[in-house]
Amino acid sequence: MKLSQMHLKTLREVPNEAEIASHILLLRTGMIRKLVSGVYGFMPLGWRSVRKIEEIIRQEMDAKGAQEILMSAVQPAELWQESGRWYAYGPEMWRVKDRNGRDFCLGPTHEEVFTDIIRNDVTSHRQLPLNLYQIQTKYRDEARPRFGLMRSREFIMKDAYSFDKDYEGLDKSYQDMYDAYERVFTRCGLTFRPVEADTGAIGGSNSHEFTALSEVGESEIAYCEKCSMAATTERAECVDAPAQDDVEMLPMEEVHTPGTKTIEEVANFLGLDQTQTIKALLFVTYNEEGKENGYVAAFVRGDRELNMTKLVNALNIPEHAIEFADEAKMGEVCGCVGGFTGPQGLHDCKIVVDSELPGLKNLVAGANKTDHHVKNVNYGRDYKGDIVTDLKTLKVGDPCPVCGAPVKHARGIEVGQVFKLGTKYSSAMNATYKDENQQDQLIVMGCYGIGVTRTLSAIVEQHHDEDGIIWPMSVAPYHVIVTLVKPEDEEQAAVAENIYKTLQSAGVEVLLDDRKERPGVKFKDADLLGIPVRITVGKRAPEGIVEYKLRRDAEKSEKSVEEAIKDAIAIVNAEK
């Protein structure tokens, strides 16, 4: 393609709305175009890279026996109501009505649709296993779209669904997809890490998130360098402090603690370590109609951070069905006092206690009385929990739940996730097959997603410098850019045209920058666009000499035209 004929508009200035490198560079290169907040279109160069990511995905999915189909993004509410997710998915679901008042949604995912296909088409065990996938536009009405393609309201996703006779079959399908994902992200040039993850609104028993390591990523992962433990902080289990079985319970003692609403303040006031205190967090929950459904008081050790995902899972409610309570309003019902709440004596609310607290003795908690706390609060004697479970967030330096070594944290971009759904959807939607004895059995399912446009963003985050993008060959919009310094010079133009056509004949995707622009503009655009190989045709063209440079390297060298062509073809074939 000749740049003089291409629709290309690059920007010299950083767009005001862009905060991270991938958003800035994809806008500056003209590869994406914003329509409204969280909604982007793709221009020629950007769309070429998206299609290359899609093709890598197709190749790896097909190699595992998956079959590509395409379903509508418009889904009837009845399917989601049947699975129970019409309410559970929450406000991120883009709900619409047709002219007759019938409810639909713009699909954020397609578990229900694919389950419906299989329950209508599969009757016998001989038809299983199956794996169907699609690459399609999805919609999620994000409350705060940000970071360009990283958190958008419209995006392209590959979603696949496996259907097996039993859990042994699911294990194989899951591993096949896990292996395929490792190959996809490796071929895309990403540095990534698979980690255990929470299943969220998708549901199921087990899940792994594929995280492209990046400081701007919204996923935080905890990992151990001494063993293989790696999980999102939402999912990571925590080790409880050793139980103090040999410590005698002391009598409760109320103390005056004026103005000490925070754990730090009360610990300092009483001369205690924060590990000797109990932290209270107060919530209100909502039902399907959006009406208040009751109060929740959650308790963790004072130095711990409450993990909201663990709390939501313990309560078995959707994330959107809980928020911090109005403390005064809750106090009238439950007897709590904002900043001075303790677990003893509360009523008319669900008490959720972190699994660590029952083993600890003589802790300090709020007295449910303004400016007062209580010393020597003990589980069992003074309070009990309706639910006792791990509510903690695994922090840097905490012991690894597998081997006990101090854990570390890293940030990353979620680019893919795999789930073992089991019979969650087949049970709700009656998707069965007849076994060898003609008995009905529930189909066992898995689902597997890759954020295609998110992967594009992650690639740019990991592959750029101060001058622009540095595309891996496999996903670069073009492999080689031939920069013609003086298009009006007939000898330079002839050499550039020869290189351009020879590379094309060899199957190399090549851009010819034949624009009537200053050389400096062309060089800056070449670096900004990040094409892997640049061949510059300049004043030594009559001698058959050109400049050869790889975008990822600082060095450049002069080569004969023949050598430059040969080297370009070789590196493209080796890396694409």
d(Cα 286, Cα 294) in Å, to the nearest integer? 7
Strands (E), 198-304: 206-213, 219-223, 230-232, 253-256, 278-286, 292-301
For the chain, percent helix, then strand, then coil, each to nearest 5? 30, 30, 40
Judged against a pLDDT cut of 70, whether residue 97 lies above it is answered with: yes
Averaged pLDDT for residues 182-191: 98
Judged against a pLDDT cut of 70, whether residue 199 lies above it is answered with: no
- What the chain holds in terms of domains, given with CATH numbers, is 19-187+429-460 (3.30.930.10), 253-389 (3.90.960.10), 478-575 (3.40.50.800)
pLDDT of residue 231: 92
Percentage of residues in the chain with pLDDT exceeding 90?
Answer: 93
pLDDT of residue 306: 97
Look up residue 465 and give its two tokens: 């410098």
Residues 6+ apart with CB under 8 A from 454: 149, 150, 155, 413, 414, 415
Judged against a pLDDT cut of 80, whether residue 186 lies above it is answered with: yes
Averaged pLDDT for residues 100-105: 97
Averaged pLDDT for residues 333-352: 95
pLDDT of residue 90: 87
pLDDT of residue 204: 59
Averaged pLDDT for residues 387-393: 97
Judged against a pLDDT cut of 80, whether residue 203 lies above it is answered with: no
Give me the half-sphere count of Cα atoms (radius 13 Å) on the Cβ side of residue 462: 22
Judged against a pLDDT cut of 80, whether residue 346 lies above it is answered with: yes
Is-contact 544 60, C-beta < 8 A?
no
Q: How confident is the model at residue 310 (pLDDT cuts 50, 70, 90)?
A: very high
Q: Is the dihedral of CA 98, 104, 109, 114 positive or negative?
A: negative
* Sheet of 278-286, strands arranged across: 322-324, 278-286, 292-301, 350-354, 387-389
Ranges 196-205, 298-307, 557-566: which has the least confidence? 196-205
pLDDT of residue 12: 86
d(Cα 397, Cα 408) in Å, to the nearest integer? 6
Burial 35-44 (b: 16+ CB within 10 A, else e): eeebebebbe
Judged against a pLDDT cut of 70, whether residue 383 lies above it is answered with: yes
Averaged pLDDT for residues 179-200: 92
Look at residue 138 and give its three-state secondary structure: strand
pLDDT in tens, 535-548: 999 999 999 999 99
Look at residue 234 and give its three-state secondary structure: coil
Look up residue 504 and give its two tokens: 């094309």
Percentage of residues in the chain with pLDDT exceeding 70?
Answer: 99
Is-contact 168 102, C-beta < 8 A?
no
Nearest to 337 by CA among 303, 382, 371, 296: 371
Q: How confident is the model at residue 17 (pLDDT cuts 50, 70, 90)?
A: confident
Nearest to 184 by CA among 508, 474, 509: 474
pLDDT of residue 545: 97
Is-contact 134 70, C-beta < 8 A?
yes
Torsion angles phi and psi, residue 370, rounded to 5: -55, 135
Residue listed under structure tokens 């010819």: 512
Residue listed under structure tokens 């998915």: 89
Most distant CA pair in the chain: distance in Å?
97
Name the DSSP letter for residue 248. P
Instruction: Note the pTM of the prediction, 2 decimals.
Output: 0.92
Q: Is the dihedral of CA 378, 302, 294, 335 positive or negative?
A: positive
pLDDT in tens, 129-153: 999 999 999 999 998 999 999 999 9
Judged against a pLDDT cut of 70, whether residue 279 lies above it is answered with: yes
Round the average pLDDT of the chain to a whole number and report it: 95
DSSP secondary structure, 386-401, as one string: SEEE--BPPPTTSBPT
Nearest to 546 by CA among 480, 457, 473, 488: 480
Q: How confident is the model at residue 19 (pLDDT cuts 50, 70, 90)?
A: confident
d(Cα 568, Cα 283) in Å, to the nearest integer? 62
pLDDT of residue 201: 59
| CB count in 10 Å sphere of residue 359 | 14
Torsion angles phi and psi, residue 510, rounded to 5: -135, 140
d(Cα 141, Cα 94) in Å, to the nearest integer? 6
Can you say whether residue 544 is alpha, beta or left, with left for phi > 0 and alpha for psi between -120 and 50 degrees?
left
Averaged pLDDT for residues 462-486: 97
Judged against a pLDDT cut of 60, whether residue 180 lies above it is answered with: yes
